[in-house]
Amino acid sequence: MAVRESTVSRLYCVGETCGEEIIHGFLEICSQRHPRAYIMQCFCADKWANDNFEWLFTKKRFTTFDWVLLPINVDNQHWMLMVANPREQTIAVLNPTGATQNIEFYLECWRRFMRHRSDECTEKLNDWKQVTYPISLQHENSSCDVFILMYAEAILAKKPQVIMRQQHVPMYRRYIKDCIVHNTITAADGRCACSTCCQPKTRTLQWIQCDNCDLWFHFECVDLSNVNLHLDRYYCADCTATGRMLP
C-alpha cells in the first residue's frame, strides 16, 4: 500500500493522531520482513461491531499463517491490536492502556466472525481460546498507535513485547517513518520472498505473487513446472505445504 508523503510527515509531529494508512503501511512492511502473517484491515472490526459479517476472506487459508493481526480502532481515538494464532486457535486483544472493558466485546466479534466464516468455507476454526501476552503499557495519551506497532513487530519477530516501553516511543516513531519512506523508495526493486533467492540478473525481471500470502517471488526462484498459469492462481511452496491448498 502506498502511503502519502503528507501522511508520513505527520508522524514526526508530537500529539498528532495516527491514521490507519500508517498503521497498515508499517504492518505490511513488518509482514514482508517477517513472513507468514496476515494483516486484516482495521475496517473489519467496525463491520463486526455493526453486525456485518460480509467479508469472510474465504480465499485465504488462515492456517497457512503463523499470525493473523487486526488493528482495532476505537471511536477514532484509540488503537488496540488483535492477535490470532490460527494453528493453535488462540486469540488476544492487546490494549496499550491495559484496560479490559472492550476486550471481551472484540473477542466475541472474532468468534462470531469465525463461525460465519466456517459456514462459508472449508476451513473450520471454531474453538478459540483467549490468551494474554505480557505487554508494556502506555503512560501518556497519544502513543497507542506506536505501541500496537511495537507489539506487532515484536510478535512477528518472535521477540518479547515488553522490550519496548514508553521511553522508546519517540525513537520508534522515527523508525516507523524511516521504514515507510525507505520502503516506498525501494518497493520497485522489490525483494524476493524465497529463502534461497538466486538473485537473477536478467534484463527483464519477472515476478509472481502468491495468491494466499501475497508474497512476491522471482520466476527464477520458484518451480513453475507444476503451475498452470492459465488458472490465474499461484500458491507458493510454503502455503502449499502448510495449507494443503493446491489449486
Partner 1 sequence: MSDQVGQDNKPGTDCENAKGAGSSTSESIKIKVRDEAGMEVLFRVKMNTQMRKIKEKYCEKAEKNITHIRFLFDGETINDDTTPKELDMEPDDIIEVVSAQTGGHRTHLY
Residue carrying the nine cell digits 498528532: 16
Of the candidate residues 5, 9, 12, 41, the single one contacting partner 1 (CB under 8 A): 41
Of the candidate residues 37, 144, 180, 221, the single one contacting partner 1 (CB under 8 A): 144
Least distance from partner 1 to the Cβ atom of residue 57, Å? 6
Judging by DSSP bridges, how do beta strands 67-74 and 78-85 pair with one another?
Answer: antiparallel
Verify binding: residue 172, partner 1, rule CB under 8 A: no
Minimum CB distance to partner 1 smaller for 158 or for 223 = 223
Q: Which residues within the stretch 174-233 sit at the binding site for partner 1 (CB under 8 A)?
A: 188, 190, 204-209, 219, 229, 232-233
Least distance from partner 1 to the Cβ atom of residue 195, Å? 21
Residues 6+ positions from 24 with CB-CB distance below 8 Å: 1, 39, 41, 42, 71
Residue 238 CA to residue 38 CA, distance in Å, equals: 14
Q: Are 65 and 71 in contact (CB under 8 A)?
A: no
Least distance from partner 1 to the Cβ atom of residue 158, Å? 26
Verify binding: residue 123, partner 1, rule CB under 8 A: no
Verify binding: residue 247, partner 1, rule CB under 8 A: no
Instruction: Please report, as a single letter, which amino acid is at residue 54.
Output: E
Residues 6+ positions from 78 with CB-CB distance below 8 Å: 97, 144
Minimum CB distance to partner 1 smaller for 85 or for 138 = 138
What's the Cα-to-Cα distance from 172 to each of 18, 145, 147, 156, 178, rounded to whole Å? 14, 11, 9, 16, 10
Q: Which residues within the stretch 1-20 sit at the binding site for partner 1 (CB under 8 A)?
A: 1-2, 4, 15-20
Residue 62 CA to residue 39 CA, distance in Å, equals: 11
Verify binding: residue 82, partner 1, rule CB under 8 A: no
3-state secondary structure 97-124: CCCCCCHHHHHHHHHHHHHHHHHHCCCC
- Name the segment binding partner 1 (CB under 8 A); options: 53-61, 85-93, 159-167, 175-183: 53-61
Residues that bind partner 1 in the complex, under the rule CB under 8 A: 1-2, 4, 15-21, 24, 40-44, 46, 54-57, 59, 73-80, 95, 97, 99, 101-102, 141-146, 188, 190, 204-209, 219, 229, 232-234
